[in-house]
């Protein structure tokens, strides 16, 4: 386990003392480093940040300035991007795909489609009924057909809910063109936090086969969206991103022509390791021989990823000491608000601080006001 320098820990303490707890600290330098690593590792791929991972407007601004585009899944997310980049300096104009927003939720309300139409974004679909809605309410959008691909070995699978069967793909493309719409791309998603890189290889091969058939039938598709799922090293069992990038580069070069636009939807990769939570112990008890700590943050707030993202965030103490297995709970009156029943911590007292790293993705994005407890205060550093 990485031991943080005393200066870094002291900085967290100062922020907690100044702003109170719980406090969620976003490091924009780390976000820029993550974007740089992604784009340098995958030189043919344009990063469309998945806003759902963390929709904080300051993150959107930072990533826009680095050259990222955006993947949104709701109209409010679309407007977070639109409203926070419209007054920023324009990026140098490149091919049309690089500056667009993709609405990557395959199912959309009619009101959402009506509101989107004026912006002419890319929108995904995966069935005939959605195609009819787009034709009626958002005909100026560019379409991207999402296909179902293997999700085996991913922390969060998505193919049970989204994606057309590959055997139906070309017919759905034809239906769109016959309706007077334009299909610009093909997309897939191998599942979140994918540690089985063969998912990507199979998905790319499926995409290439579908595109070849579409081309033979006269449909010019020029975009491949390889989705997200890029793994973050939460623990030692996660395979390195560099290995995946090498495999992706090889397959992209082998399967697709040079003029094919390749985009991806990294979310977790950009923000997971760019935030730290500092929380305070507000209660302590011994239950059935086990020490239990009660914190001022929990699964209804920043630790929501334990429930929704199948992710465990390990807590660390600022002080050293002999560790023993303890239980950790959030502040609400619900027993469901359990952060961990087996956290290794030294003997601590009420008022002591704990911190959790790698908590930037799918955490504050799902915070509630359950029991009246507000979400953690958000602080930005290195902007």
Distance between CA atoms of residues 164 and 217, nearest Å? 19
Same domain, 209 and 106: yes
**What confidence tens digit (pLDDT) does each residue in 328-369 have?**
999 999 999 999 999 999 999 999 999 999 999 999 989 999
Same domain, 127 and 219: yes
Distance between CA atoms of residues 88 and 86, nearest Å? 6
Distance between CA atoms of residues 217 and 210, nearest Å? 11
First-to-last C-alpha distance (Å) of the chain: 28
303 and 295 Cβ atoms separated by less than 8 Å: no
Distance between CA atoms of residues 97 and 90, nearest Å? 15
CATH number assigned to the domain comprising residue 369 = 2.40.37.10
- What is the reported pLDDT for 159? 59
| Residue 179 belongs to some domain of the structure | yes
pLDDT band at 4 (very low <50, low <70, confident <90, very high): confident
∠ CA 11-15-19, nearest 5°, is: 175
Same domain, 250 and 367: no
Between 197 and 112, the more confident residue is: 112
| Residue 1 belongs to some domain of the structure | no
Residues with Cβ within 8 Å of 243's Cβ and at least 6 positions away in sequence, in order, are 197
* Dihedrals phi, psi of 72, to nearest 5 degrees: -120, 160
**What confidence tens digit (pLDDT) does each residue in 14-45 have?**
999 999 999 999 999 999 999 999 999 999 99
Task: Kindly compute the dihedral angle of the four CA atoms of residues 158, 164, 169, 172, in this order, to the nearest 10 degrees.
Answer: -130
End-of-domain residue from the set 240, 271, 302: 271
**Domain encompassing residue 345:** 6-25+272-381
**What confidence tens digit (pLDDT) does each residue in 173-197 have?**
999 999 999 999 999 988 777 667 8
**How confident is the model over 86-102, as a mean pLDDT?**
66
End-of-domain residue from the set 242, 271, 300: 271
Distance between CA atoms of residues 309 and 58, nearest Å? 23
Is residue 194 annotated as part of the catalytic site, yes or no?
Answer: no
Query: Which helix (H) or strand (E) element contains residue 45?
Result: strand 45-50
Same domain, 259 and 286: no
End-of-domain residue from the set 271, 303, 322: 271
Q: By three-state DSSP, how is residue 319 classified?
A: coil
Catalytic-role residue among 138, 194, 311, 333: 333
Distance between CA atoms of residues 38 and 24, nearest Å? 24
CATH number assigned to the domain comprising residue 44 = 3.20.20.10
pLDDT at 156 over 60: no
Residues with Cβ within 8 Å of 151's Cβ and at least 6 positions away in sequence, in order, are 157, 158, 159, 190, 191, 194, 199
pTM for this prediction: 0.93
């Amino acid at each position: 386990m990485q031991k943080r320098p005393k200066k870094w820990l002291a900085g967290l303490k100062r922020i907690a003392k100044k702003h109170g707890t719980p406090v969620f600290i976003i490091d924009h330098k780390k976000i820029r480093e993550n974007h740089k690593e992604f784009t340098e590792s995958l030189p043919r791929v344009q990063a469309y940040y998945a806003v759902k991972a963390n929709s904080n407007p300051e993150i959107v601004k930072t990533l826009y300035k680095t050259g990222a585009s955006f993947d949104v899944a709701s109209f409010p997310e679309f407007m977070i991007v639109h409203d926070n980049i419209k007054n920023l300096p324009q990026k140098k104009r490149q091919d049309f795909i690089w500056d667009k927003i993709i609405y990557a939720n395959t199912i959309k309300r009619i009101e959402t489609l009506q509101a989107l139409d004026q912006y002419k974004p890319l929108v995904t679909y995966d069935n005939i009924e959605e195609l009819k809605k787009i034709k009626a309410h958002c005909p100026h959008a560019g379409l991207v057909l999402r296909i179902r691909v293997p999700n085996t070995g991913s922390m969060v699978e998505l193919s049970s809910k989204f994606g057309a069967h590959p055997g139906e793909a070309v017919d759905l493309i034809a239906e769109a063109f016959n309706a007077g719409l334009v299909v610009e791309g093909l997309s897939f998603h191998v599942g979140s936090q994918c540690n089985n890189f063969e998912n990507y290889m199979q998905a790319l091969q499926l995409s290439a086969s579908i595109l070849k058939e579409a081309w033979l039938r006269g449909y010019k598709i020029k975009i491949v969206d390889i989705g997200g799922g890029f793994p973050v090293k939460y623990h030692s069992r996660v395979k390195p991103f560099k290995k995946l990038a090498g495999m992706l580069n090889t397959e992209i070069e082998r399967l697709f022509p040079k003029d094919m636009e390749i985009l991806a939807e990294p979310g977790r990769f950009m923000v997971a390791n760019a935030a730290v939570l500092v929380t305070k112990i507000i209660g302590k008890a011994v239950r059935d021989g086990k020490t239990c700590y009660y914190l001022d943050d929990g699964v209804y707030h920043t630790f929501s990823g334990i429930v929704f993202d199948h992710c465990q965030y390990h807590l660390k103490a600022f002080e050293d000491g002999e560790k023993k297995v303890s239980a950790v709970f959030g502040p609400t009156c619900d027993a469901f608000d359990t952060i961990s029943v087996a956290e290794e911590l030294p003997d601590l007292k009420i008022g002591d601080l704990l911190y959790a790293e790698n908590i930037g993705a799918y955490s504050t994005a799902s915070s509630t006001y359950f029991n009246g407890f507000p979400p953690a205060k958000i602080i930005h550093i290195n902007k």
